[in-house]
């Protein structure tokens, strides 16, 4: 059966104390909205509709960065969840399949939970949970397997408030029935809002069936403040680290490793303490990432060693058995198999051939203030320490540069390139200079 997603993301999130819409605040390097979209994407939805309001332009940008086919609809007035979902009616006109309504600020609902809701045998399916403290959650009033109605806490009686089965807000229903019921919802309640939850009572009154699928409280975690955002990130990190350990990755100090939503690490890889993985990082099996390294937008092949204190920026591509050492930064560069960039170097907009060795202090001077330029280094090249490679420049296979050289022209295969000012030695001059400076310093002391 075809499935469509409606994800609500119109709220400002006043408690976030931010100019940004609440749903674009990041967890594990990705906006929380993307977490919800990613979970829903496992259902291969025919349509994804995001309901935006506050900061709609920002929400649209984030949405389309993840899925450029997703539709954006606007909720210009914040009149409740039922009103928000109804804004998606035109975008889903003619769609006959099931709709799952999700929330951009509830990022941890699992794909298998959504699949269970799709498979449930009822006209309307609600996702419920039993929290440690039911607090002010809406309550699910059931009769056996049948869901009779949902009661918001502020509208509930004492008996209803004693119920421990609570409403997550996530709902699944055939599109035609969902919008038919929403058009009957009124705002006759304590908040004067159009509640999505009212569709349950309306469905039961009309003779339709309703039921509950349950999940853990952690899946339904909603985020309304910076403190809750931090707590959510901590929950994600704990789960992601455990998953890596179960998959055969060694985390020397798990609590110190920071992972992103899309981090991929192969088994038998060793991750040392205080490593940060930004978005879009893949590390193949058998690699080692040493302490205090930062990686984002890069690929590390098997057998490579990175760090300590290394930085791999977007576009860094490390082939097998590459060595990248301490205080090395690599950006938009391909490092071929067996090459070494062991210390104190910047390699940007470059290609380094197999088995080449880049000496300490080497810089590819890739930016002229306006344009970026490429440096091409062949195979089996030796770049002497403190070499400046002024791009665009090509170093041929098996060539060498002398330490301290500034290379501004191409170097042919097997050639040695030297570019230094001549060394000048003046006998006795050092002692004369020291004597002069010491006398000057003594004079300054007497005058003070």
Residue positions annotated with a catalytic role: 343
Q: Output the CA angle 9-96-2, nearest 5 degrees.
A: 75
Take residue 131 and report the two structure tokens written for it. Answer: 């929290």
Name, in order, each residue with C-beta under 8 angstroms of 424's C-beta and a sequence gap of 6 or more. none
Got the DSSP string for 10-48? Answer: ----GGG-SSS-GGGSEETTEEHHHHHHHHHHTT--SEE
Report the alpha-carbon distance of residue 384 to residue 361 in Å, rounded.
9
Where does 33-123 show beta strands of DSSP type E? 47-52, 71-74, 98-103
Report the alpha-carbon distance of residue 228 to residue 361 in Å, rounded.
44
Sign of CA pseudo-dihedral 438, 444, 447, 448: negative
Q: In the beta sheet, which residues pair with residue 377? A: 352, 395
Residue whose C-alpha is closest to residue 66's, from 280, 316, 295:
280
Sign of CA pseudo-dihedral 125, 130, 135, 139: positive
CB distance 264 to 280 below 8 Å: no
Q: Which residue has the tokens 């309550």?
A: 139
């Amino acid at each position: 059966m075809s499935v469509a997603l409606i994800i609500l993301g119109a709220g400002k999130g006043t408690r976030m104390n931010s100019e940004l819409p609440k749903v674009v605040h990041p967890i594990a390097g990705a906006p929380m909205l993307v977490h919800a979209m990613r979970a829903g994407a496992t259902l291969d939805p025919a349509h994804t509709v995001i309901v935006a309001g506050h900061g709609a332009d920002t929400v649209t940008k984030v949405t389309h960065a993840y899925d450029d086919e997703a539709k954006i609809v606007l909720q210009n007035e914040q009149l409740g969840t039922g009103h928000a979902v109804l804004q998606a009616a035109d975008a889903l006109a003619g769609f006959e399949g099931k709709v799952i309504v999700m929330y951009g600020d509830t990022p941890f609902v699992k794909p298998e939970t959504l699949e269970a809701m799709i498979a449930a045998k009822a006209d309307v399916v609600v996702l419920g949970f039993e929290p440690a403290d039911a607090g002010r959650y809406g309550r699910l009033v059931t009769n056996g397997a049948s869901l009779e109605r949902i009661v918001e806490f502020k509208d509930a009686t004492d008996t209803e408030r004693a119920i421990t089965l609570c409403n997550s807000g996530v709902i699944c229903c055939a599109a035609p029935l969902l919008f038919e019921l929403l058009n009957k919802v009124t705002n006759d309640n304590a908040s004067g809002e159009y509640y999505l939850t009212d569709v349950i009572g309306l469905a039961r009154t009309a003779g339709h069936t309703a039921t509950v699928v349950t999940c853990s409280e952690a899946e339904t975690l909603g985020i309304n403040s910076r403190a809750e955002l931090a707590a959510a990130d901590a929950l994600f990190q704990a789960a992601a680290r455990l998953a890596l350990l179960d998959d055969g990755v060694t985390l020397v100090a798990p609590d110190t490793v920071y992972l992103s939503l899309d981090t991929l690490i192969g088994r038998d890889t060793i991750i040392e303490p205080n490593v940060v993985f930004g978005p879009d990082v893949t590390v193949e099996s058998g690699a080692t990432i040493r302490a205090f390294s930062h990686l984002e937008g890069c690929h590390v092949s098997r057998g490579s060693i990175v760090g300590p204190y290394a930085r791999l920026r977007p576009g860094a591509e490390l082939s097998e058995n590459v060595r990248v050492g301490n205080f090395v930064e690599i950006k938009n560069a391909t490092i071929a198999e067996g090459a070494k960039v062991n210390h104190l170097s910047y390699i940007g907009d470059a290609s380094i051939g197999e088995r080449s060795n880049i000496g300490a202090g080497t810089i590819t001077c890739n930016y002229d203030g306006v344009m970026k330029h490429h440096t091409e280094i062949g195979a089996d090249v030796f770049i002497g320490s403190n070499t400046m490679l002024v791009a665009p420049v090509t170093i041929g296979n098996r060539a060498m540069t002398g330490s301290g050289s500034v290379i501004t022209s191409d170097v042919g295969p097997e050639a040695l390139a030297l570019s230094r000012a001549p060394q000048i030695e003046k006998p006795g001059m050092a002692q004369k200079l020291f004597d002069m400076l010491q006398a000057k310093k003594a004079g300054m002391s007497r005058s003070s």
